[in-house]
């Protein structure tokens, strides 16, 4: 313990000494020498020397393509070069009186200069000043706001997150206009210095949850963060689980709804996917459109979705188990028809199912990776041609093709892509168990999955909550979607929470002219 403390003290002392050495000097040439050595062989970094008032040497440093050059010429260089006070004023005075830029930040070390320049903010250094100024003139090419491709809806907002963090935070601010919406920023990645924002609503999100999310992010030490998937994989409670424990979304309305439930949203610069923590199994099976249409229709679609999730996981394995070991469970006419279709097939049902499942997954992956214009055509035509040719060649039977096709259609009803990928992954061991042990193997596989789900947690929240453990008050938005005038409480996530989300007696009463009860 003494050795660890002394080592930690030495590291901290070394960092302090290094920081002292990085302080800017009042000699402009010395500061430029340090920055030029750091940006050696960086052709896109521009060092623009100029004279303030024709007398005092100064330098404007920026990265071409990340800064607004027109604004720099109009609001910075032109007024400073025409300045009449010359050496009589200071950098602070010029920023207040001459430079017309709304956002200005002081920099005192070379690390601060590098951080601001890399962000796109030009830095001004003046001879005789031991500090500089970073100007908020960052500007780079960005994608326009479009409809999310992975979470499309028929009824609801059509806006989606983009790769620019500032745009994503503004989309959340546009929906939640309260100052209680807090956003904490930090940088992760030794080389990328990726900016990450933690969004939550003060008074609704539990403080313990916010602290835990912050601690997990601060523990990450990596060369670079290029997408939110890096963060998701390094923050999970059980990284070897096939089930996602953090929900990702492209939709600002989904993120805003999660914030209002007391969850935390993590936005990563450069990624159009926001992360929502904690999450549960039932949150992954809910679509944002469930809350934009009538509750009766939403509840019916939700039940249909649950049914098809079960079919997506179990239909091929049950077919293989029944065909291999439990033929007596099938009506006589149906089993005779299936036996006739399998008469020329040289493979057992297990191999036949694996061939078709692997082929279907390959076609699905090919459709995703190919260009959009030909991807859909290849996947559809490939499935039709290969399926029909396999039947005519006697490699697979027609019922097996139907089972695999129904399984694929069922998997498309899962609203979250990463959860659907988990179900697709688990389908293969279930088929193996069914082909070796029959329905007993299917039941054993289900027990293993259920046991794992019962032990799984997301930031301390049980994965099967609010059904296990049972919380009756929160069941109004699990198996069914209760009408909005009944959803008067938030889900209870962690610790103390802001329970009520709306006033009581919101049910419309036609007897009183449409007024609430």
**What is the per-residue pLDDT across 228-257, written as a single tens digit (0 to 9) for each?**
999 999 999 999 999 999 999 999 999 999
Question: Is 249 contained in some domain?
Answer: yes
Question: Is 428 contained in some domain?
Answer: yes
Confidence of residue 472 (pLDDT cuts 50, 70, 90): confident
pLDDT of the residue at 441:
95
- The last residue of one of the domains, among 250, 279, 308, is 279
3-state SS string over 57-113?
EEEEEEECCCECHHHHHHHHHHHHHCCCCHHHCCHHHHHHHCCCCCCEEEECEHHHH
Look up tokens 């601001």; give the residue: 116
Average pLDDT over residues 29-33: 91
Peptide bond into 362 cis (omega under 30): no
Look up tokens 């990265």; give the residue: 63
Confidence of residue 7 (pLDDT cuts 50, 70, 90): very low
- Residue 303, pLDDT > 90, answer yes
Confidence of residue 101 (pLDDT cuts 50, 70, 90): confident
Q: Are residues 360 and 440 in the same domain?
A: yes
Number of domains in the chain: 3
Q: What percent of the chain has pLDDT over 90?
A: 46
Question: Is 467 contained in some domain?
Answer: no
Confidence of residue 3 (pLDDT cuts 50, 70, 90): very low
Pick the most confident of 5-14, 356-365, 432-441: 432-441
Average pLDDT over residues 260-277: 94
Question: Is 496 contained in some domain?
Answer: no
Assess contact for 398 and 391: CB atoms under 8 A. yes
Domain that holds residue 193: 165-279
Assess contact for 266 and 496: CB atoms under 8 A. no
Assess contact for 365 and 357: CB atoms under 8 A. no
Q: Are residues 194 and 339 in the same domain?
A: no
Q: Are residues 390 and 349 in the same domain?
A: yes
pLDDT of the residue at 332:
86
pLDDT of the residue at 494:
63
Average pLDDT over residues 318-335: 88
pLDDT of the residue at 179:
92
pLDDT of the residue at 327:
86
Q: Are residues 409 and 302 in the same domain?
A: yes
pLDDT of the residue at 86:
55
Pick from 242, 248, 192, 185: which is nearest to 217 by CA?
Answer: 185
Question: Is 480 contained in some domain?
Answer: no
Question: Is 399 contained in some domain?
Answer: yes
């Amino acid at each position: 313990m003494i050795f660890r403390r002394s080592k930690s003290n030495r590291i901290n002392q070394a960092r302090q000494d290094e920081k002292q050495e990085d302080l800017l000097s009042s000699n402009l040439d010395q500061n430029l020498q340090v920055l030029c050595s750091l940006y050696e062989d960086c052709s896109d970094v521009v060092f623009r020397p100029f004279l303030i008032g024709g007398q005092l040497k100064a330098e404007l440093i920026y990265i071409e393509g990340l800064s607004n050059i027109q604004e720099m010429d109009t609001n910075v260089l032109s007024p400073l070069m025409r300045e009449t006070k010359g050496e009589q004023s200071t950098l602070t005075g010029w920023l207040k009186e001459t430079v017309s830029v709304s956002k200005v930040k002081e920099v005192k070390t070379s690390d601060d200069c590098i951080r601001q320049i890399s962000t796109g903010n030009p830095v001004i250094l003046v001879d005789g000043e031991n500090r500089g100024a970073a100007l908020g003139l960052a500007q780079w090419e960005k994608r326009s706001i479009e409809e999310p491709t992975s979470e499309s809806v028929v009824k609801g907002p059509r806006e989606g997150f983009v790769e620019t963090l500032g745009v994503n935070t503004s989309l959340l601010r546009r929906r939640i206009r309260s100052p209680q919406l807090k956003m904490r920023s930090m940088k992760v990645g030794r080389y990328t210095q990726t900016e990450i924002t933690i969004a939550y609503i003060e008074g609704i999100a539990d403080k313990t949850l916010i602290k835990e999310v912050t601690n997990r992010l601060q523990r990450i030490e990596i060369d670079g963060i290029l997408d939110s998937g890096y963060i998701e994989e390094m923050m999970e409670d059980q990284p070897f689980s096939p089930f996602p424990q953090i929900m990702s979304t492209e939709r600002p309305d989904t993120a805003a709804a999660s914030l209002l439930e007391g969850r935390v949203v993590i936005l990563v610069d450069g990624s159009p996917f926001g992360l929502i923590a904690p999450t549960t199994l039932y949150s992954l099976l809910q679509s944002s459109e469930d809350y934009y249409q009538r509750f009766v229709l939403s509840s019916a679609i939700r039940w249909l979705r649950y049914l098809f999730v079960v079919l997506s996981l179990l239909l091929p394995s049950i077919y293989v188990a029944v065909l291999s070991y439990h033929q007596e469970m099938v009506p006589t006419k149906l089993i005779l028809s299936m036996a006739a279709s399998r008469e020329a097939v040289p493979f057992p049902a297990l191999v036949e199912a694996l061939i078709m499942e692997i082929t279907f997954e390959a076609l699905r992956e090919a459709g995703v990776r190919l260009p959009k214009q030909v991807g859909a055509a290849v996947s559809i035509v490939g499935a039709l041609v290969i399926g029909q040719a396999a039947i005519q060649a006697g490699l697979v039977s027609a019922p097996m093709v139907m089972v695999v096709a129904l399984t694929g259609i069922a998997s498309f009803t899962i609203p979250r892509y990463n959860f659907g990928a988990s179900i697709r992954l688990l389908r293969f061991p279930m088929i193996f168990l069914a082909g070796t042990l029959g329905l007993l193997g299917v039941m054993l596989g289900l027990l293993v999955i259920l046991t794992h789900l019962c032990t799984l947690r997301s930031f301390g929240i049980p994965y099967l909550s609010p059904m296990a453990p049972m919380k009756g008050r929160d069941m109004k938005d699990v198996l069914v979607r209760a009408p909005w005038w009944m959803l008067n409480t938030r889900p209870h996530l962690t610790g103390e929470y802001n329970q009520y989300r709306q006033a009581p007696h919101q049910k419309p009463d036609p007897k009183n002219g449409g007024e609430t009860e």
